[in-house]
Amino acid sequence: MLTLYYHPLAAYCWKPLVALYDTGTEFTPHPIDLSKPEDAALLESLWPMRQFPVLLDGATRVPESSIIVEHLDLHHPAATRMIPLDPQAALPVRLWDRFFDMNIQLVMQQIVNDALRPAERRDPQVVDAAKAKLDRAYSIAERHLSGQQDWAAGAFSLADCAALPALFYAGAIHPFDAHPAMTAYFDRLVARPSCARVLAEARPCFDLFPFRDGIAARFRS
């Protein structure tokens, strides 16, 4: 039996959740609250970095969101794969997974981390630099998505699982409304049942997000 240790607000937890829901793979969700010492100790016992998500598959412990999705494709294949079997076709999926994680998600997190610091330790230069990086990433994504059909790398895949949290949280901080292809892509993402389910489950935690006022009303009601 599969068990996923996660937090419903955590961006990197959304990636395997979308994959699990999209493929209809059965699993047991196990939310982790790091404010509870017993939960923190449990997570550390599963993955010493104390980072979620972690998938427990029998005796096998699988950390890191992209690796979890790869593990599911390898060991619990469904009718819909998140990474193509063909190695060449898999490359753009992995590329755009990395793109959304490294150039949008991680950059957005720099702004969040700055907002969580005491006011006297905040650094406007860090925020400005992060927003400039987001603008560059948005422009690249806009050009790419303008030439695509519906999804980031062909069929719905790992890349789109990564895009949902990256665009959701980044858009609440530094909107991409001026990019019509990105906006249309995001609308397709949030309308997909697996993605909508992840968002619905995260909704009770949105007040914990420091930029919660930037979350569109359609996701908060």
Do 32 and 39 form a contact (C-beta atoms < 8 A)? yes
End-to-end alpha carbon distance in the chain: 34
Structure tokens at 183: 């906006």
Determine the pLDDT at residue 221: 77
Whole-number pLDDT of residue 149: 80
* Domain membership of residue 15 as a residue range: 2-75
Cα 185 to Cα 30: distance, rounded to the nearest angstrom: 30
The verdict on residue 140 lying in a domain is yes
Domain end point (choices 75, 101, 122): 75
The answer to the question of residue 82 being in a domain is no
Q: What is the CATH number of the domain that holds 9?
A: 3.40.30.10
Res 37: pLDDT: 96
Picking from 135, 95, 102, the residue whose alpha carbon sits closest to that of residue 12 is 102
195 and 109 both lie in a single domain:
yes
Please give the model's pTM, rounded to 2 decimal places: 0.96
Q: Looking at the structure, do residues 137 and 202 belong to the same domain, yes or no?
A: yes
Of 75, 97, 114, the domain-final residue: 75
For residues 95 and 150, membership in a common domain is answered with yes
List the pLDDT tens digit at each of the 221 positions of the chain: 899 999 999 999 999 999 999 999 999 999 999 999 999 999 999 999 999 999 999 999 999 999 999 999 999 999 989 999 999 999 999 999 999 999 999 999 999 999 999 999 999 999 999 999 999 999 999 999 998 789 999 999 999 999 999 999 999 999 999 999 999 999 999 999 999 999 999 999 999 999 999 999 999 87
Does a structural domain hold residue 81? no
Instruction: Give the model's pLDDT for residue 64.
Output: 97
Domain membership flag for residue 101: yes
Among residues 217, 208, 214, the alpha carbon closest in space to that of 33 is found at 208
Q: How many distinct structural domains can be found in the chain?
A: 2
> The domain that contains 204 carries what CATH number?
1.20.1050.10
